[in-house]
Amino acid sequence: MLVPISFALLALLALGGALMLLFRRDPVDGVLSLVVTMLALAGIYLQLADPVVAALQVIVYAGAIMVLFLFVTMFVRRAEERGPLGWDRPRFALASIVAACLLGLLVQAIGAFGGNTPTHPGPPAEIAAIAHSLFGEFLYPFELVSALLLVAMVGVVVLGRRGEESS
Amino acid sequence: MIGLVHYLVFAGILFCLGLFAVLTRRNAVTVLMGIELMLNAGNVNLVAFNRFVGSGVNGQIFALFIIVLAAAEAAVALAILLNIYRTYKHITVDEIHLLRG
């Protein structure tokens, strides 16, 4: 009984944060509501017996990435971005249709697929198993990701540098 | 009891909300946040499938990789946004057409 209630609460919290992102004009509100979504998702990962991804979700997503978003948002925010959201009607209608169609297709696919899925989870994975897999089977992708992070870091430093020709 | 289907539907709704943000919002930072939302929906799917269907830890490993890739993507995209802001003094995606032919 406890699990369904906590899942419902966490899912509502996550979807509420996402809706706040959609319907608030001020991007700072959007970042803060997205932090709520990320923390709720960490709770859902914990519920799925996955403490490693949950911890990284809090540290990397809710911590690092969202703080980066917050800084950049505050750099580029303009005063007229407060107040109510002015919707562009044709765009709103088109986007609603696209998103609703996609959701319908997804739910239909999940329903068609859901007949033969287990409803009871297997045993939770050990953290040691994740470490063995990450540093054994997935060693090359792991090293590639570290190279990618280095490239991204150098790229960001180059991009962030003020060009000589600009004032 | 909460089954795999509940998690999948939840992730689908989250993905569509992210898609909606990407399609409707004109502030480039909000568009990026919509993309983050979609990546997170994919992550929920990976972890849920790993818990209910898979037997190993592959789903969790993929989720970890996606978190790292999202961090790299966000850093590069936000650096590009700051450069755009330096040039245009705004980041409204409709009005940025320097590369239009």
Q: What is the pLDDT of residues A18-74, one digit of tens each?
A: 999 888 888 888 999 999 999 999 999 998 888 889 999 999 999 899 999 999 988
Please say whether the structural domain B4-100 has been given the CATH code 3.30.465.10.
no
C-alpha distance from A149 to closest chain B C-alpha (Å): 6
Question: What does pLDDT average to over chain A?
Answer: 85
A116 in the same domain as A132: no
pLDDT in the model for residue A119: 63
Cα separation of A84 and B52, whole Å? 43
For this complex, say whether ipTM is above 0.85.
Answer: yes
Domains: count for chain A: 2
pLDDT of B80 above 80: yes
Question: Do A18 and A54 reside in the same domain of the chain?
Answer: yes
Q: Is the pLDDT of residue A80 over 70?
A: no
Q: Has residue B59 got a pLDDT over 60?
A: yes
Q: Which domain holds residue A132?
A: 124-167
For A120, phi then psi, to 5°, come to: -110, 125
Same domain, A30 and A71: yes
C-beta atoms of B57 and A19 within 8 A: no
Identify whether residues A159 and A89 lie together within a single domain: no
Write the CB contacts of B79 (distance below 8 Å, at least 6 apart in sequence): A155, A156, A159, A160
Cβ atoms within 10 Å, residue A137: 14
Residue A38 sits at the vertex; the CA angle it makes with A32 and A41, to the nearest 5 degrees, is 150
What's residue A24's pLDDT?
A: 84
Nearest to B84 by CA among B74, B71, B98: B98
A55 shares a domain with A7: yes
Proportion of chain A above pLDDT 70, given as a percent:
84
Q: Which one of B12, B21, B60 has the shortest CB-CB distance to A53?
A: B60
**Residue A105 shares a structural domain with residue A140:** no
Q: What is the mean pLDDT of chain B?
A: 88
pLDDT at A84: 62
pLDDT band of A167, cuts 50, 70, 90 = very low
Give the residue carrying structure tokens 């592959």: B58
Q: Around Cβ B20, how many Cβ atoms within 10 Å?
A: 24
Dihedral Cα A105, A106, A111, A115, nearest 10 deg: 130
User: Distance from B38 to chain A by nearest Cα, in Å?
Assistant: 10
- Tokens 């699990």 map to which residue? A3
More confident residue, A8 or A111: A8
**A78 shares contact with chain B (CB less than 8 Å):** yes
Residues A83-107, mean pLDDT to the nearest whole number: 84
Partner B, chain A 23-52, Cβ-Cβ below 8 Å: 27, 30-31, 34, 37-38, 41, 44-45, 48-50, 52
Which among A120, A143, A158 is the end of a domain? A120
Same domain, A85 and A128: no
CB contact under 8 A, B64 and A134: yes
Residues A46 and A109 in one domain: yes
User: Do A97 and A34 belong to one domain?
Assistant: yes
Asked if A140 is an interface residue toward chain B (Cβ–Cβ < 8 A), one would say: no
> Would the CB atoms of A94 and B6 count as touching at under 8 Å?
no
Chain B partners within 8 Å of A99 (Cβ): 16-17, 19-20, 23
Tens of pLDDT, residue by residue over B7-23, are: 999 999 999 999 999 99
As a whole number, mean pLDDT of residues A92-120 equals 83
Strand partners, B92: B27
* Contact at CB, B67 and A34, closer than 8 angstroms: no
List the domain boundaries for chain B.
4-100
Whether residue A114 is found in the same domain as residue A129: no
Residues of A with CB below 8 A from B34's CB?
21
Same domain, yes or no, for A150 and A108?
no
CATH number at residue A104: 1.20.120.1200
Distant-in-sequence, close-in-space partners of A134: CB < 8 Å, separation ≥ 6 = A142, B61, B64
Write the DSSP symbol of residue A64. I
A85 plus A143 within the same structural domain: no
